[in-house]
Chains A and B, each alone.
Chain A
Amino acid sequence: MPLATKLAGRRRLVIAVAATLVVLAPIAFFWQRSLVPNDLSPMTMGYADYGGGPVSEHVHHGVDVSELTGPPDQKPDVAVDLVARKERFDIPGRGPMDGFTLNHTSPGPRIVAKQGDLIQVTLHNDNVTDGITLHWHGVDVPNAEDGVAGVTQDAVRPGQSYVYRFIAKDAGTYWYHSHQVSHEQVQKGLYGVLIVQPTSADVIAAVHTYDKVRTVNGEYGERRVKAPGPTAQVRLINTDNGPMAAWVDGAPYKVVAVDGTEVNAPTEVSGKAVLVTAGGRVDLQVATDKPVRIGLGGGPTTLVIGDGDAPTGTQPTDRVDLLTYGSPKAIGFDPAKATRVFRYDIGRRVGFFDGKPGLRWWTINGHQYPDVPMFVVSEGDIVRMTIKNTSGQVHPMHLHGHHLVVLSRNGVTATGSPWWTDSLNVEDKETYEVAFVANNPGIWMDHCHNLPHAAQGLVAHLMYTGVTTKFHLGGAPDNQPE
Chain B
Amino acid sequence: MRAAYRILAGLVAIGVVLQAMFIALAWFLAIKDMDDGLVIDKNYDGNIGHTLHGQVGVLAIPIIALLLLIVSFFAKVDGGIKWALYVFGLVVLQIVLAFASFAAPVVGLLHGLNAFALLSVASMAARRVARSGQPAAETATA
Q: Which residues of A contact B (CB under 8 A)?
A: 1, 5, 9, 13, 15-17, 19-20, 23-24, 27, 94, 209, 212-214, 220-221, 240-244, 278, 297-301, 350, 356-360, 392-394, 452
**B38 and chain A: residue at smallest CB distance:** A212
Question: Given known contacts A16-B74, A213-B37, A359-B95, is B43 in contact with A244 (CB within 8 Å)?
Answer: yes
Q: How many residues of B contact A (CB 8 A)?
A: 27
B103 / chain A contacts, CB cutoff of 8 Å: 392
| Structural contact, A214 and B45, CB atoms closer than 8 A | no
**A183 and chain B: residue at smallest CB distance:** B45
Question: Given known contacts A5-B137, A301-B37, A358-B58, is B73 in contact with A15 (CB within 8 Å)?
Answer: yes
A17 to B33, CA, bound (A): 50
B44 / chain A contacts, CB cutoff of 8 Å: 242
Question: Given known contacts A278-B43, A350-B99, A392-B102, is B73 in contact with A20 (CB within 8 Å)?
Answer: yes
Interface of chain B residues 51 through 82 with chain A (CB within 8 A): 58-59, 62, 66, 69-70, 73-74
Question: Given known contacts A240-B43, A356-B59, is B74 in contact with A212 (CB within 8 Å)?
Answer: no
| Structural contact, A241 and B43, CB atoms closer than 8 A | yes
| Structural contact, B99 and A359, CB atoms closer than 8 A | yes
How distant is B98 from chain A, measured CB to nearest CB, in Å? 7
Q: Which of B38, B42, B69, B98 contacts A394 (CB 8 A)?
A: B42
| Structural contact, A1 and B38, CB atoms closer than 8 A | no
B47 / chain A contacts, CB cutoff of 8 Å: 212
Chain A CB within 10 Å, residue with most, of B42, B70, B95? B42
A393 to B45, CA, bound (A): 12
**B37 and chain A: residue at smallest CB distance:** A300
A299 / chain B contacts, CB cutoff of 8 Å: 37-39
| Structural contact, B37 and A19, CB atoms closer than 8 A | no
**B96 and chain A: residue at smallest CB distance:** A350
| Structural contact, A214 and B70, CB atoms closer than 8 A | no
Q: List 9 A-B contacts (CB under 8 A).
A: A16-B73, A23-B66, A213-B37, A242-B41, A298-B41, A299-B37, A357-B59, A358-B58, A359-B99
A13 to B141, CA, bound (A): 14
| Structural contact, A214 and B37, CB atoms closer than 8 A | yes
What 1/0 mask marks residues of chain B from 101 to 140 whose CB sits below 8 Å from any chain A CB? Answer: 0110000000000000000000000000000000001001
A212 to B29, CA, bound (A): 11
Q: Which of A20, A24, A209, A220 contacts B43 (CB 8 A)?
A: A209
A297 to B95, CA, bound (A): 32
Interface of chain B residues 17 through 46 with chain A (CB within 8 A): 33, 36-39, 41-45
B74 / chain A contacts, CB cutoff of 8 Å: 13, 16
B70 / chain A contacts, CB cutoff of 8 Å: 19-20, 23-24
A240 to B44, CA, bound (A): 10
A356 to B44, CA, bound (A): 22
| Structural contact, B137 and A297, CB atoms closer than 8 A | no
A221 / chain B contacts, CB cutoff of 8 Å: 37
A17 to B70, CA, bound (A): 9
A19 to B59, CA, bound (A): 22
**A20 and chain B: residue at smallest CB distance:** B70
| Structural contact, B41 and A5, CB atoms closer than 8 A | no
| Structural contact, B41 and A359, CB atoms closer than 8 A | no
A209 / chain B contacts, CB cutoff of 8 Å: 39, 43
Lowest 6 CB-CB distances: which A-B pairs, in order?
Answer: A242-B43, A242-B42, A16-B73, A299-B39, A19-B73, A240-B43
How distant is A355 from chain B, measured CB to nearest CB, in Å? 11
A22 to B36, CA, bound (A): 51
A17 / chain B contacts, CB cutoff of 8 Å: 73
| Structural contact, A27 and B66, CB atoms closer than 8 A | yes
Chain A CB within 10 Å, residue with most, of B33, B43, B59? B43
**B66 and chain A: residue at smallest CB distance:** A23
**B81 and chain A: residue at smallest CB distance:** A19
A213 to B39, CA, bound (A): 8
A452 / chain B contacts, CB cutoff of 8 Å: 45
**B33 and chain A: residue at smallest CB distance:** A212
A24 to B98, CA, bound (A): 24
| Structural contact, A243 and B141, CB atoms closer than 8 A | no
